[in-house]
Amino acid sequence: MSKELETNLTEEEYLKKHLESLEQNKAVDSVESAPKQQTTVKVEQSKASDLHYFAFDTREFPCGIFYPAGSTIQVRAAQVKEIQAYSMVDDNNFYDIVEKMNDMLSSCVRIKHLDGTIGSYMDLRDPDRYYLIFLIRELTFQKGSVLTTKVNCSCGNETTIELRRKNFKFYETSERINDFFDVATLSFRFEIKTGQVFNLAPPTIGVQKSFTEYIVKENAEKRKPNLSFLKIIPFMLHDRSSITIEGIKAKLDEFQKMDDIPFQFLNSAVEKLTFGIEKLQSQCQCGLEIHTDMIFPNGPSAVFVVHDAFEQFIKE
């Protein structure tokens, strides 16, 4: 019973949260329906050799602490054909935004471990998604084509902030929580008074993708997903890169049989585990620090589509 009481979000609100929507992102406020079909994303590794990847230290990323020591995240610029595919994103359809971003990540991102093995974008943490997208953008448009947003400083000046990595301010977990980080499992390890132990971490992009497919399927079959389950369980699958629909159903069954204390604990704990880009931060000419909410100026499509390219490139 208490489980139902906790789910005061609508299904759509939850989905957006689940898929890590940017808060206050006007562009995705009005998602009407799920797409009728899901496309399967395949990692294109065959062509990777002739494209130049840049290696980035995992510690630069919002979820840096969750990657094995010595790993690097390898990212390359988007090719024209990838930009062409992305340019068809429907800014009003949240599923489509996530899908197109996943396609882009699948082409341009991989993780290289210390032992030389390569993992795909699905092994990366979901709250790193936007950071990765903006990183690909920076590599793709090295000259010009800067995305900006405006902020009013208390001195009266209107200052422009560029959407670049250096201006991204990440969410920070409290010291209270940080004490529970377990280096051996790269997750937070919580032992509760009942004696149960839970390891929690933000889910991988792969797990979120599995859950998205599950939600779409449930919707198509006119079943209402258990929102509380969707909020908590992905964090408990901290060491996985995917889960089957049957696997999710088995987890749902376990979840519904859970006692009240562990449920209450988990529900409260996952709320403390927010990662990703919290806001944009810069300095005004007057010296004051200025910040604003993270947004997509002109919608998510504008990340790789040059705004008003007609006017920019027409020769008169």
Interface ranges with Zn ion (CB under 5 A)? 153, 155, 157, 284, 286, 288
Q: How far apart are alpha carbons 217 and 210 in whole angstroms? A: 11
> Both tokens of residue 290?
């200025």
| Closest CB to Zn ion among residues 195, 287 | 287
- Shortest spacing between CB 145 and Zn ion, in angstroms: 26
Query: For residues 66 and 2, is the Cβ–Cβ distance under 8 A?
Result: no
- Shortest spacing between CB 156 and Zn ion, in angstroms: 7
- Going by C-alpha positions, the residue among 127, 128, 138 that lies closest to residue 73 is 128
- Going by C-alpha positions, the residue among 292, 276, 256, 299 that lies closest to residue 29 is 299
| Closest CB to Zn ion among residues 88, 286 | 286
Q: How far apart are alpha carbons 262 and 268 in whole angstroms? A: 10
| Closest CB to Zn ion among residues 174, 285 | 285
- Shortest spacing between CB 281 and Zn ion, in angstroms: 13
| Closest CB to Zn ion among residues 83, 284 | 284
- Shortest spacing between CB 117 and Zn ion, in angstroms: 49
3-state secondary structure of 169: strand
For residue 33, count CB atoms less than 10 angstroms from its CB and return exposed for 0-12, middle for 13-18, buried for 19 or more.
exposed
| Closest CB to Zn ion among residues 117, 154 | 154
- Shortest spacing between CB 155 and Zn ion, in angstroms: 3
